[in-house]
Structure 1
Amino acid sequence: MLKRSLLVLVLPLALLGISPASASVKASDIIQRAVEGFVRPAYAGLHDHAQALAKAMHKLCEAPSQAGLDAARVEFSATVYAWSSAEIIGFGPIKENNRLERMLYWPDRKGLGLKQVQAVLAARDALATDPAQLAGKSIAMQGLGALEFVLYGDGADALAGKDDPYRCAYGAAVAGNIETIAGEVADAWNKPDGFAALWANPGPQNPLYRDGNEAVTELVGVFINELEMVRDVRLKGFLGAKPDADKPKQAIYWRSQNTTNSLAGNLAGIDALFQVSKLGDALPEDARWMAQSIHIQLTNGVSTAKSVQGPIDKALADPALREKLEHLRLITSSLSTLVGTRLTAEFGLTAGFSSLDGD
């Protein structure tokens, strides 16, 4: 599983261009904008989509049909995009109670999660059809990856008929679990005295953020870490240096054809967070072009990802579509350099970390 190691950055007051006395206040403004303008809406939106997905699954189980299956798949794709945008905030409430891994167990290079999902479908474990009971089982059995296999894996077409009611019941339980997790995280971010208050109000007595520098460093780390995640883990995980090195079945959401939909959601989330936080306004005036360049490149990245449709193996086999994926790799590499090197240099950041550590 992917592990995010500690981000070690030294953030000087020059970042905010203000005096020490007002540093935490200005940092609070940046973080408050990030929370109110992106984090809360993103997780609220995820919860809304998860609710719609759960309803679609229950409707499918009650009255199996191809139209019902198609509707559930549409809601699944919408939920994947919503999650892909929200998941860039991979700290705070989503890290509690293994919610992050329960929502998405990936990468699963050894296929352990897949085997567990296949095993529960074969064994028809009644407990796995109860969302409350499912929440206590293996993390690999209760999130988006598990539901993707239910809806798109071997035997999924049976959901359109009445031959495999257990598969649908299990899928509905997984969808219900996803809805519960999304709701818990959304509620936690909205608590007046919860994590958001700690992040936006740094101080000597704060157990997580002792000053404004640490609070803003957390935000800067999102952009650095998530861009590297998109480039090095999600994209390069299946896109080889040459076509014969491609690994389409290592692509996230390859069964549901949501690989590029997910990448677009990641980049759209990063762009939205960067814009609403107005972090770029803290740049020296002669370096403000960076903020605009970051926005333009993220927008181009989203458009490029969305332009690659259909099965990822066929996209990789199509020279024109593969060229678009190569272009997306160039965009993410350029963004990683712009944000992780040039932006941090302007802010006087000292980076001494490996932001992503995969096993």
Structure 2
Amino acid sequence: MSSADQDSSATHWPDSASEVPLQVVSRLIYASLSKVDEHVLDEMRRIRDHAVVHNQAAGLRVALLHMSGWFVEWIEGPEAGIRALLDRVAQDPRHQGLQVVHHSRGKPRLFRPWIGSIVQSDEGPTAFARRLFALQDRQVRQSALEPASVWLRLCSPPAVDMPLTDGAFPRAMLLSAQGAQAFELLQTLAAQLKRPLVCRRFAGAADAARDVESDYLDLPALGQTGWRLVANARKGLAMGMAHAFLPDHAAVVLLLSDDAARNQHLVDRVLAANQQVHHVPVIVGLGTHDQVTPALQEQVERQGLPWVAARSPLRRPDAMDLWAVLQPVLAQIA
């Protein structure tokens, strides 16, 4: 599915009737060499269809990634279920050389039976392995990272010129009220600044959001520490990965439209998501004066989240016009 193919229908966050549970679970991340040579997306879909049933029955929540010739899987749930899953993976001919990267107990981040992702990367298997073993060594020699931090370091490494190469730079999640403005903004910005744009495809378990895209762009010159901008499809909110990493974002940028109902719908969903994960990012309303309304600001601030308006003075701003008003806002947040 193209990132531009975002629908206007409602999708729902997991456990939408209540807050995210905070019970302690076992958490494990492993990596293995992939023996899937081609048609990776088709293979991931086959894994999904099998895993959704079995993981849910075992009380497991899983995120599986294919990148640079490697599988990386993040598992949360009962220890016995995790061990049984590892035993099955060790016998699976699609995996070779399984390496446990992280093992701990703590609060959960994953709330879907299965989330899959594919990252397009020029990094080869050997270079990925060097990063993997360096991260393993850090886990042994220093205090253990949280699993979300381990996952981000392995699967979304920073650009080599980012000031903070340990991944501690601020992140902004970009969501469009209508169409694919968030993706178009990153694509235009990457072309203008001659920066690499990393494209990811997520395969989810939710019927309403089976496959969507999520792209990110690192901007080392923005602020003192650099920023990562992450474009997410609206449907991706139902898949769990955006949900899992929401607490790692300093800001959520809402690219608003001329349709007030769509703007309201997006704000409602973002506020619900932040309430579930107990996160208080800066909410940035980005658009024209008519789109970024006081009513939206009041709603956001009523829930206790800070609001910043990034208004373009133009009636029909293009991507770079929007960036001109967003850039100083992000620089101030950092």
The answer to whether the superposition gives a TM-score over 0.5 is no
The structure number with the bigger radius of gyration is: 1
TM-score (normalised: structure 2): 0.24
**Greater share of strand:** 2
TM-score (normalised: structure 1): 0.23
**Greater share of helix:** 1
